[in-house]
Chain A
């Protein structure tokens, strides 16, 4: 049903007998309103009636219905939502019905903060019993938009407040199988690995998660997400990140493939800046990527980090200025790397 049909079917509040005792309260904009909005008649009327019952603090089935109408027209109005919550409490309404109402509104407005806050309020009231339904609801949203930020925030809240961690890692896996580029799913994976009370924590999970990230990198080396995830697994422990041979070797592998190697280069650069001691193989790999040009005028023979920066300037031109700057501010430990 499109909005025109809806408007034709709608009976104005002024003509509904059950509202005949209420005098609508128009909005007083003052004499010289700035940025006035061209409200449609239906909108003005609904809000005028809302203002009247809000001011009278009437908490009844009819005002609950009125807030539904106002929310349909104006889901961003937090005053209406807040009053609805007061009415729901006063009427001891069945909050399971309310979950259905929110789902209905969310279907057209999945990126509205007020809707999600209301959903959270309802779920909080229902407690642990709502956990499964909330996980299902967010899953439904993700089937339409797997990166909906609000839904992810809600899901993280559900896990922390109501539980349900058991299947979360598997869910992330499934989403990543659907789309390995889904950065939200990578973030959720990190969230689970670091915060789930059922897993051992980051350090305990590191080994298996490193293997997972490496697989994803090999599959799509141009995908930023697994590179960032891999680094994140070492958190602030850069020494471990540098010393883990799997990290540098995945860089080497991608560099040797000569394909989609920009992140491999930038990761190698970061490793060098944190004290990585590269073997001859790295020099060979870099040399193979810049065979004829030697923009550093012979530096390829002595310093790997400079060579990597020069190569990045060429292959990642959007960030040329950044790679030039990185070259200028190379730390002593990177400049000390003279590859034989």
Chain B
């Protein structure tokens, strides 16, 4: 084990400590601390962060692929028959057992709490561990996903009612992309909703009229990319041929790199590690990633590296799974040795995304 070169003024090593992060993820894979119990409904999302994170760090061998596959598949909601499939419900994946019930339970009804974001995470995990997605019942997912699309093109994540915004547009687009089947959505309506979310300053808000925000901007741009509405050379095309305002988007995104080298989610807000992925990812998709100050970003990210492994949101705070995953993704885009390349618009390693 190399001796760590320590910054004399702080506890953080001056390099990306891959082995430490692998151990952090392994710990989470085995048992997530009780502080996360309030994220119980999204356990599948936590699993996605851990498993895709291990994949990125070249440590997927730490995962029991069969266990993962059987657990993930067990979370899928299946319609009993054709009538149920057409009842208006969404048949995707549950985020955890907490809202899922077995058919033989002594029940008055079998609730279906499957969720669009959980479905995205489930498919992403299955792709990561190399499961053949043609074996998944994708017809139920795609057919019933249409029930979640709203007249304005946005998506609701569950059929019983929830907020509707760009996050679920992204989930829907990623699901269609991974299943290689776009019958799950009306692409034209989706495109128009995304366009309506571009704010006067070039970034995208979560809903039309909302303040432009790094995470929302990623959802918009990644979705358009997945849907085939953004070509590789989009930065060099004439304004008239683009469905969104690219120069303004580029300028807004690059302005998000703050004086400390990190990325902020909105103007005049502090830098936060996850925006290195959300906004960095936007720039990468547009073909403008090399326009940032990579060295400054690298330095900022390391100030958020925890001695326990993982990354925190801000320097000096405790790490969490979410910020750790997006920091790893950011290091991937910075081409950090030991971190695999990622398919930014899908949120998977290139290898996982290609299905090889």
- A and B part of one assembly: yes
Give chain A's interface residues, CB within 8 Å of chain B.
25, 27-30, 32-40, 43, 47, 51, 54-57, 73-79, 82, 85, 113-114, 116-117, 120-121, 147, 149, 152-153, 156, 181-184, 187-188, 190-191, 195, 223-225, 228-229, 231-233, 235, 266, 317-322, 325, 329
Question: Is B268 within 8 A of A232, CB to CB?
Answer: no
Give chain B's interface residues, CB within 8 Å of chain A.
28-34, 36-43, 46-47, 50-51, 64, 67-68, 70-72, 74, 97-99, 101-102, 105-109, 111, 113, 115, 158, 160-163, 165, 199-202, 205-207, 209-213, 236, 251-252, 254-255, 257, 259, 261, 266-269, 288, 290-293, 296
Q: How far is the CA of A113 from the CA of B168 in the complex (A)?
A: 13
A228 to chain B, nearest CB (A): 4
Q: A187-B212, A325-B291 are in contact. Are A82 and B34 (CB under 8 A)?
A: no
Question: Is B32 within 8 A of A36, CB to CB?
Answer: yes
Q: How far is the CA of A160 from the CA of B339 in the complex (A)?
A: 46
The residue on A at minimum CB distance from B200 is A232
- B32, B41, B209: the one contacting A77 at CB < 8 Å is B41
Question: Is A195 within 8 A of B209, CB to CB?
Answer: yes
The residue on B at minimum CB distance from A56 is B108
Known: A74-B37, A120-B163, A229-B201. 11 other contacts (CB 8 A): A27-B97, A35-B50, A37-B34, A40-B34, A43-B34, A55-B107, A75-B38, A85-B161, A190-B199, A321-B291, A321-B293
The residue on A at minimum CB distance from B213 is A149
**Chain A contacts for B288, CB-based, 8 A:** 322, 325
Q: A37-B34, A55-B105, A321-B293 are in contact. Are A27 and B98 (CB under 8 A)?
A: yes
Question: Is B268 within 8 A of A181, CB to CB?
Answer: yes
Question: Is A32 within 8 A of B71, CB to CB?
Answer: yes
**Chain B contacts for A121, CB-based, 8 A:** 161
- B107, B113, B207, B268: the one contacting A183 at CB < 8 Å is B268
A207 to chain B, nearest CB (A): 17
The 6 A-B residue pairs whose C-beta atoms are closest, nearest first, are: A232-B200, A228-B201, A187-B211, A79-B99, A32-B67, A181-B268
Question: Is A79 within 8 A of B254, CB to CB?
Answer: no
Q: How far is the CA of A116 from the CA of B206 in the complex (A)?
A: 14
A169 to chain B, nearest CB (A): 15
